[in-house]
Amino acid sequence: KQEVTQIPAALSVPEGENLVLNCSFTDSAIYNLQWFRQDPGKGLTSLLLIQSSQREQTSGRLNASLDKSSGRSTLYIAASQPGDSATYLCAVFGNAGNMLTFGGGTRLMVKP
Amino acid sequence: DVKVTQSSRYLVKRTGEKVFLECVQDMDHENMFWYRQDPGLGLRLIYFSYDVKMKEKGDIPEGYSVSREKKERFSLILESASTNQTSMYLCASSLLGEIYGYTFGSGTRLTVV
């Protein structure tokens, strides 16, 4: 069964820092990986979707990479801002059951 | 942009009540999903549907049922609400196929008293 782990569970950084969030998964037979953002009490907002054949995707200050063979993905946030404070979730879509499996999330706090 | 709309942001119901959570998407997606999210347990899949009138159990279907009479609408039903069903409920949709991502609604915070 696919397991997705996100480390660290929580992270606090000063404004302006570049940071990396990590996601690892146990079964490399995936179709895609998706990064989401969740603000407190709200739903999930999709940030980036990486297909299994891709190595990375970029959107503004966000860059997500995927190393399928090692079962790892990273989300890089450049020049962090207080508005980036949220929980970030990664999820993999695998060919075992064709369903999305979520990590536990990283709670990010960017201090002014 | 794809929009997934959940009819209520907050809901308070009494134990034993029948509860309906509604979800509507506006982009002709085949797949629709219901998750619940609890602290320490993450997101868990309750039910999903890949077509009208079709439904599949997820990881935690007990105590829930679903209905999909129209492609754009997927309803989650708590036949007899219990306090352990107090949670954040999230609906999502996607196109059929492995290359497509999921789009989530804004969630319904259900409290059962």
The rounded distance, in Å, linking the Cα atoms of B71 and B62 is: 24
Tell me what pLDDT residue B92 has. Answer: 95
- Measure in Å the smallest separation between the Cα of B73 and chain A Cα atoms: 18
Q: Which one of A1, A2, A42, A59 makes the best mutation probe of the B interface by having the most chain B beta carbons within 10 Å?
A: A42
Average pLDDT in chain A:
94
Taken in order A26, B31, A50, A78, the sign of the CA dihedral is: negative
Report whether pLDDT(B26) > 70. yes
Instruction: Give the pLDDT band of residue B2 (cuts 50, 70, 90).
Output: low
- Could you tell me which residues of chain A have a Cβ less than 8 Å from any Cβ in chain B? 31-32, 34, 36, 41-46, 49, 51, 89, 91, 93, 95, 98-100, 102-105
The answer to whether the beta carbons of residues B39 and B93 sit under 8 Å apart is no
Report whether pLDDT(A99) > 80. no
Q: What is the DSSP string of A51-110?
A: ETT-SEEEETTEEEEEETTTTEEEEEE-S--GGG-EEEEEEEEESSSS-EEE---EEEEE
- Measure in Å the smallest separation between the Cα of B44 and chain A Cα atoms: 8
Contact residues, chain A, for B61 at CB < 8 Å: none
Buried b (16+ CB within 10 A) or exposed e, A17-40: eebebebbbeeeebbbbbbbbbee
Q: What is the DSSP string of A13-49?
A: EETT--EEEEEEES---EEEEEEEEE-TTS-EEEEEE
The answer to whether the beta carbons of residues B13 and B111 sit under 8 Å apart is yes
Contact residues, chain B, for A36 at CB < 8 Å: 104
Contact residues, chain A, for B98 at CB < 8 Å: 31-32, 93, 95, 98
Tell me what pLDDT residue A1 has. Answer: 84
The rounded distance, in Å, linking the Cα atoms of B82 and B13 is: 9
Please write the tens of the pLDDT for every residue from B64-106.
999 999 999 999 999 999 999 999 999 999 988 877 889 999 9
Q: Average of pLDDT values for A76-98? A: 90
Tell me what pLDDT residue A98 has. Answer: 63
The answer to whether the beta carbons of residues A56 and A65 sit under 8 Å apart is yes
Cβ–Cβ below 8 Å for B102 and A34:
yes
What is the separation of C-alpha B62 from the centre of its chain, rounded to a whole number of angstroms?
A: 14
Please write the tens of the pLDDT for every residue from A51-62.
999 999 999 999
